[in-house]
Amino acid sequence: MPADAEALVDQLRSQVDLALLRPTSPGKFPVLAESPIVKGGCQLEGSSGRIECYLALPLDADVKLVYQQFASQWIINMDSEVIEFGGCEFNASVLVRGRFYFVNHVPQNGTIVQKRPEFLAWADRIFRAGKKSLRRSKVLDAYVGEEAEKWRQGGGRFAWMVTPARGPIYTDLYG
């Protein structure tokens, strides 16, 4: 839920230095985001919003953007030293599972190399702090915020994903 996402980012910021970045930019440089939440949806009918941002070290991140000609914009490449915070698309009755994700190895000169130790240590601190801020759901195999849990108890449903053909795909046990 939006309140959970904002609370999580606030909690992370209180423990670890981080910058929120928008996934796209009109130019070659990343753009700071005020909030992890963006209005509107991508896949869920009637969606009022979703989480879409990247977390990065504020001053020392190696952030790479690549140009998408068809969209006339620059996007953050996952080879960057960033953590993707995305998904959690929601409408009045459905909350789709989101994720924290990063790549710890990148291709370089024909081989695969690990990202810098400074970034990996920072990412580990982010994940540890995030896990402490949320409740673990064994059934969902996910971490759930307090507001999302209250919303679910009030009749909201959690979905694993959304497909164009089927719409939301719910968990059988936790729906």
Summarised one tens digit per residue, pLDDT across range 5-32 is 999 999 999 999 999 999 999 999 999 9
Q: What is the mean pLDDT of the segment spanning 58-73? A: 92
The answer on pLDDT for 173 being more than 70 is no
The pTM for the full model equals 0.90
Contacts of 50 (CB under 8 A, 6+ apart): 37, 38, 40, 41, 42, 86, 87, 88, 89, 90, 98
pLDDT of residue 174: 46
What are the helix (H) ranges across the chain?
2-15, 117-133, 146-153
pLDDT of residue 138: 82
The answer on pLDDT for 92 being more than 90 is no
Spatial contact of 20 and 6, defined as CB atoms under 8 Å apart: no
pLDDT of residue 85: 97
pLDDT in tens, 105-123: 998 899 999 999 999 999 9
Contacts of 73 (CB under 8 A, 6+ apart): 24, 25, 26, 67
